[in-house]
Structures are given as structure tokens and as C-alpha cells.
A and B are shown apart, each in its own frame.
Chain A
Amino acid sequence: MNAIKKILGLVWIALGVAAGIYLVYFQALPLWEKGGNDLVPAIIYTCVLAPLISIGMSVFGYYSVTGEFDNV
């Protein structure tokens, strides 16, 4: 199980980075260009969801790779 956790750690890091790029580049950027009320979801994607998912998942993945979750 510990080996699986270590491999999955890399998956979570990759997923966190991919989710951040997807949310900012593909979701938020077109909304920033539109402006008006679309700025609300743009702000949420850029300032709340993207950092939360990308940083949170990456740190979680890092802990998983470095064995912090072994025998937890």
C-alpha cells in the first residue's frame, strides 16, 4: 500500500498542476476578457479554486511521495 501511495503522490501533483492550468487558462481567461458579471466566476477560478486545488493537491502529493502517509 505504501508503494501505491508513493506512485499516486506523483499523480496528485500532476493533477494539481493540470487542474490549475485548466482553470486559469481555459476557464478564467475567457471570462476575464468578457468582463461584467463574468468577472465573478473569473475571480473565483483564478483566486480561489485554482490555487486551492493546485497548491493543496501538490503538497498532498509531495507528502505522499516522501512517505508522510506511510502507515497512517
Chain B
Amino acid sequence: MSQKKQSLAYIISASSVGTLIEWYDFYIFGSLATVLSTKFFPTDNPTAAFLNTLATFAAGFVVRPFGALVFGRLGDLIGRKYTFMVTLMLMGGATFAIGLVPSYATIGGWAPFIVLTLRLLQGLALGGEYGGAATYVAEHSPAERRGFFTSWIQTTATVGLVISLGVIMLTRSSMSKEAFDEYGWRVPFLLSIVMVGISFLIRRNMEESPMFEKAKKEGTTSTNPLKESFGNKLNLKFVLLALFGATMGQGLVWYTGQFYAQTFLLKICNLDDIQTNTILVIGLLLGTPLFIFFGALSDKIGRKGIMLAGMAIAVFAYRPIFDKMYQTVNVKNKEVVAGSEKIEETRALNAKSTVDSLVTTTTTRLYTDGATYKKVSKLVVLADKTAEAPKAEIKETITINDSDKWTLIGMVFLLISFVTMAYGPIAAFLVELFPTKIRYTSMSLPYHIGNGIFGGLMPAIATFLVTTAKDTNKVAEEAGQVATIAKPYLEGLNYPIALVSVCVVIGIIYIKGDKKHA
């Protein structure tokens, strides 16, 4: 018994470490998007700017379901172990290669295309990895503790994000800003090859899943997993049920809690980036043990109730939580220290011209609660007065006091706790929904459509909805009318709230609530 436990612990840790590294690889691209855009995607080249938007916001996510199909099929044909070794190497290779790609200044238009291609390969690899790892661990676990054991795999996405933020912060702090912009940003990408190498050595000694081995010996493996998964009505209905009754809502809750919270604080509340990342990392670390708790709890009381409760609470709590976050940072709720406002203006020759000038106006304020406000406005003044003047580039940054910081950590923790309820038991739920011979394929596709497409695109769509709402109000105000949208900064939440609500209704009515099934 003790040996069995030990080998299961090895299986879980070896699987989890590999999956964690894949998440790390996937996230550093997003976290370093600003630096990458200056190196590979110059804004004065429209094609490169378009590719930048595509690479940053969509490509890696949209391609994930295709990875699920390609590698899911392989996993059901040749085995789980070999397939997730391939995805690990593909992800590691693509990430390492991003760290080696010469910049746009060196090789011109090839740079954005190469980086976009490598980002697509990352998405493909991730699409194949998760289903393999979850299936592999689940097929080794005793049925009555499957929720607990697979929940370790569920922590990897969150821990991967924390490690990616940590490595980037450490690299930044170990060198000057100029050195980081010059070459330091490559370090987190290059470091991936070391982590992947270690994970490869650990995974190399793992044995094939016992359920798959048994099916192989009995000759009951699938000869055409794609056809059996999606061309067969009996199985397709469960794929659709998994998507619309579980993974769609779970993916949205996950990306709203982990990623939109970050985007919201940075871009909509204008909170300082170091404070934002610190708040996020502490909130994530405090919330991570709950993945294991809810995974284990799902073995006792069933998966359905916990997952749907997490989603339902999120639907009702999102607007109050995000409103509280916004109002905590909002300087309109704070009192300015008398005489603290300073305005400095500098004028220099614009870097991209020999005649136009760049006027930089910096406004700073202090608040009685210790918060600070900084607004930098950059305006290009054209020498040719008849030409249309470009819009000023404005960047606002707010820092808050410790008490407000802990308020925000509490809010992020609440968001993460919804994530853990929806996400903790889902690997076990998906594994139990499909038969061994087509499990890898059948569970991977709904998972990656739910998480990669519905969830992954969430921060970009929500930010777009907020911008549209603000523009609508601006047009109304300029026309002398009352602003039509009371809280435009919360408009982005309409997307997850609407879809998660549909998912909860479908889940309640269509998913069986008994422990064996859900």
C-alpha cells in the first residue's frame, strides 16, 4: 500500500511538473507582451502591428482546440505518455526559440511572422498537454479519490502563472531597465529549456497509463478516435454537454478571476504594475490550496454541486467585487494633500522627426491616505501647422497604501476561490464522462474550447466592451446629453456573466448529480 502511494505521488508530481512548465512557457509570452511588441512588432508598420494584436490576444488561445484534436488523437492511438512527452518538447522548443529570434531591427518582416508561428506552436502544445496529464493521473488514481489526485494537476496553471511572474520580476530586478529591454527579456524564454530538460528526464521513466495498457492488450483501443468522439451522436452529445454545461463557464470564471482581474487593475483602474502583480501573486498563492480542498471535497459530495456553485456565486459576485476594486483605487474617492500637485513640462525634438517637437507634461499628486497619482501626457507638436495633429498619448499610474492593497488582495482571493470551485474538480469530471479508448480526444476538445476560446479571449473582449462603453458615454457627453451607461468600467463583465449563467442553467438541468456520474 505504501509503495502504491509512493508511486502515485511520483506520478502526480512528474505529471504536474511538466504541465506546470508548459503553463509557465505559455504565460511568459503574455506577461512580456509589451517588450515583445517593441522588439518584433513596431507600431509604424501596420502589418506588424496587426500581427502583434493577433499574437498577443488571439493566436495562442484559438489554436488550442486544434492541439487538443491533433494530440488527443495521438494519445488515444499510441498512448498518453508518449504524447505528452511530445507536447512538452514542442512547447519547450518553441519557447526557447522565441528567446533566440533576432529582432525586427535585425531581420525585418520575418521577425513578427516567426514569433507568431512559434506562438501558434505553443498553443498547439498546450492543447495537447493538459488532457494527457489529467487523463494519465486520473487513470492511475483510485476512483474514490480521483478528484483529490487530479486536483494537483489543476494547481499547475495557477502556480505556472506565479512562477512566470516571479521569474520576470527576478530578472528585471537583477539588471538595469535598459539591459532588460536590450537582452534581459530573453532570459525567461531561454530558461525554459532547462526546466523542460529536467521535466523530460523525470517523465522519461514514467510508465504508460494502466487503463490504456489494459485496453491495448485487450485490443479495445480506438482505431479512429476523432470519428468515434465527434462523428458518433452518443459521444458527441457528451462533448457538447461538457462544453456548454461545464468548461465554458469554468473557463470564463478562471480567466475572469486570474487574468481579467490583472487587466482590470492595470488598464482600467490604472494601478501601478508592480503593485498589481504583487496583489495578484499573493491572492493566487493564498487561493491555490483551495484547488486541492475542492478536488478532495468533490470525491465526497460529487463534482457537479461544487463546480456549479462556484460559477453561480461568481455570476452574482462579479459586479460588486470589481466595483469595490475600482472604487478602492479611484482617486476621486481620495482627498488631495493641499499644495502637493506638481506639473512639469518638457519640450524636446521628436525622435522620429527633425522638425516636430514632443511636449511631455507630467502631473503628480499626493493623497491624504498615502496614495499617489502620476499622469504623463506626450503630445507631438507638428511643425507643419496645416497637418492634422496626432492625439496626445496619456499614461496614468496610481499607487495605493497598504490597507487598500490588502483590500484588493482580499477581492482577488475571493475571485480565485470561485476559480478553485469551478476548476478544482473538473479534470475528474471530464475523465469520468468519457470511455478510456477516446478519453484523451473527447475531454481535450471541450476543455480547450471552454478555456482557450471562451476563457482565453475573455480579457481582450471585456477590455474592448469597456472601451466601447466609455466611447458611448463620451459621445453622449459631447452632445450635451447624460451619459447612458452608469458604470462603464463594469461593462466587460457582461460577457462572462451572460455565458456563465447559460452554463449554470445547462449544468443544473442536464448534468446528473449523483457522485458516480458527476
Contact = CB atoms under 8 A, between A and B. Distances in A.
Interface of A: 1, 4-5, 8, 12, 15, 36-37, 39-41, 43-44, 48-49, 52, 56-57, 59-60, 63-64, 68-69, 72
Contacts of A41: 460-461, 464
B46 A36 contact: yes
A36 B47 CA distance: 9
B509 interface: yes
B311 to A, nearest CB: 18
A49 B464 CA distance: 15
A2 to B, nearest CB: 10
A32 to B, nearest CB: 14
B468 to A, nearest CB: 10
Nearest to B234: A68
Given A36-B46, A37-B53, A40-B57, A60 B240 contact: yes
A59 B240 contact: yes
- Interface SS, B side: helix
Interface of B: 46, 49-50, 53-54, 57-58, 62, 233, 236-237, 240-241, 243-244, 449, 453, 457, 460-461, 464, 502, 505-506, 509-510, 512
B453 A48 contact: yes
- Interface SS, A side: helix
9 contacts: A8-B505, A8-B509, A36-B50, A44-B62, A52-B453, A60-B237, A60-B240, A69-B237, A72-B510
A27 to B, nearest CB: 9
Nearest to A69: B510
Given A49-B457, A63-B237, 12 more contacts: A1-B509, A5-B509, A8-B509, A15-B502, A36-B46, A36-B50, A41-B461, A43-B58, A48-B457, A63-B233, A68-B233, A68-B237
Contacts of A68: 233, 237
A39 B50 contact: yes
B63 to A, nearest CB: 11
Given A68-B233, A68-B237, A40 B510 contact: no
Given A63-B240, A68-B237, A48 B62 contact: yes
A71 to B, nearest CB: 9
A62 to B, nearest CB: 10
B305 to A, nearest CB: 17
B55 to A, nearest CB: 10
Contacts, number: 58
Contacts of B243: 56
Contacts of A69: 237, 241, 510
A28 B57 CA distance: 16
Contacts of B460: 41
A44 B58 contact: yes
Contacts of B510: 5, 64, 69, 72
Contacts of A44: 58, 62, 457
A29 to B, nearest CB: 14
Contacts of A4: 509
Contacts of B509: 1, 4-5, 8
Contacts of A64: 510
Given A15-B502, A49-B453, A40 B58 contact: yes
B10 to A, nearest CB: 37
A72 B239 CA distance: 13
Choose among B58, B237, B453 the residue with the greatest number of A CB atoms under 10 Å from its CB: B237
Contacts of B240: 56, 59-60, 63
Nearest to B457: A44
Contacts of A40: 50, 53-54, 57-58
Contact of A60 (B54, B57, B244, B453): B244
Contacts of B241: 60, 69, 72
Contacts of A63: 233, 237, 240
Contacts of B502: 15
Contacts of A8: 505, 509
A41 B50 CA distance: 11
